[in-house]
Amino acid sequence: MSRPLIVDSVAALRAQIRDWRRDGLSLAMVPTMGALHDGHVSLIGVALEKADRCVVSIFVNPTQFAPSEDLDKYPRQLARDLDRLAETGAQLTFTPGVAEMYPAGFATRISVGGPAAGLESDFRPTFFDGVATVVAKLFLQASPDCAVFGEKDYQQLCVVRQLCRDLDLPVEIIGAPTVRDAHGLAMSSRNAYLSEAELEVARQLNAILRRTAAALAAGADEGSATAEASRALVKAGFDKIDYVAARESLTLAPWRRTRDGRLLAAAWLGKTRLIDNVEVPSA
């Protein structure tokens, strides 16, 4: 396989997509912030199963980072990413700069509610508005038929689906299963921050969540089970727990045993914040 065509302007992106549309080809999109790993590759594989062409965007979106967060040190490795994309079969890479996405005088922001309320928003209050704004822009720029997002960022997946429903964006949102290493750790660009010792701790996150989800499915009290999960994470070596919480799968409303659920967590190892989630079957 060869490297995909690379464009860094909206005009060039639309020109290429216009040519594909003239040929009657369908289009899938995989939005990323780069630092590509096996999880991203799996999303591209799903995209190419769903459509004739796949465009992968690589853009570290500043509007979803708070001033205290890791925008400046977020891994940027475009040359390596392009080499990785050459192995995937993706046909187009969109690599805009900040000035292309947010030109001088940019003054519009999308505010989201519903599944954006709570969990991540309790700790990153501007995050989902930034995500919604950049995703809406990407969809309007590329006009894909579908877009693929990983279930690892489960709340984000729910927010993007809500965004498309509420704003009548004609894009099918496809959730792809989380890709994990051999020890169960969810693939994430931020895993690159972890030392070997921290990786050993991080790999316990999913196991603790799975045990907790099984307890909930077996009838355990939600408050007691999630509190015990937080204690287990601290005992395992995590420094701080932002949340461990059960929610309904589709809406992220408070979980009821008669509905399929998700157990979601965010925890810190040193200066690195990790998130993960697992299913909680209905009673």
The pLDDT assigned to 250 comes to 93
Mean pLDDT, rounded, for 2-22: 95
The pLDDT assigned to 68 comes to 84
The pLDDT assigned to 70 comes to 86
What is the CATH number assigned to the segment(s) 189-280? 3.30.1300.10
Residues in binding site for (R)-pantoate:
64, 156
Mean pLDDT, rounded, for 246-257: 95
- The token pair at 121 is 């928003």
Secondary structure, 3-state, the chain: CCCCEEECCHHHHHHHHHHHHHCCCCEEEEEECCCCCHHHHHHHHHHHHHCCEEEEEECCCHHHCCCCCCCCCCCCCHHHHHHHHCCCCCCEEECCCHHHHCCCCCCCCCCCCHHHCCCHHHHCCCHHHHHHHHHHHHHHHHCCCEEEEEHHHHHHHHHHHHHHHHCCCCCEEEEECCCECCCCCECCHHHHHCCHHHHHHHCCHHHHHHHHHHHHHCCCCHHHHHHHHHHHHHHHCCCEEEEEEEEECCCCCECCCCCCEEEEEEEEECCEEEEEEEEECCC
Would you say the CATH fold of 189-280 matches that of 5-176? no
Domain edges within the chain: 5-176, 189-280
CATH number for 5-176 (one of 3.40.50.620, 3.20.20.70, 3.40.50.300, 3.40.50.720): it is 3.40.50.620
Active site residues: 40
Q: How many residues does the chain have?
A: 283
The pLDDT assigned to 1 comes to 67
Contact by Cβ (8 Å): 148, 178: no
Rounded to whole angstroms, how far apart are CA atoms 190 and 172?
28
Note the pLDDT tens digit of each residue in 174-232. Answer: 999 999 999 999 999 999 999 999 999 999 999 999 999 999 999 999 999 999 999 99
Residues in binding site for beta-alanine:
64
Residues in binding site:
33-40, 64, 150-153, 156, 179, 187-190
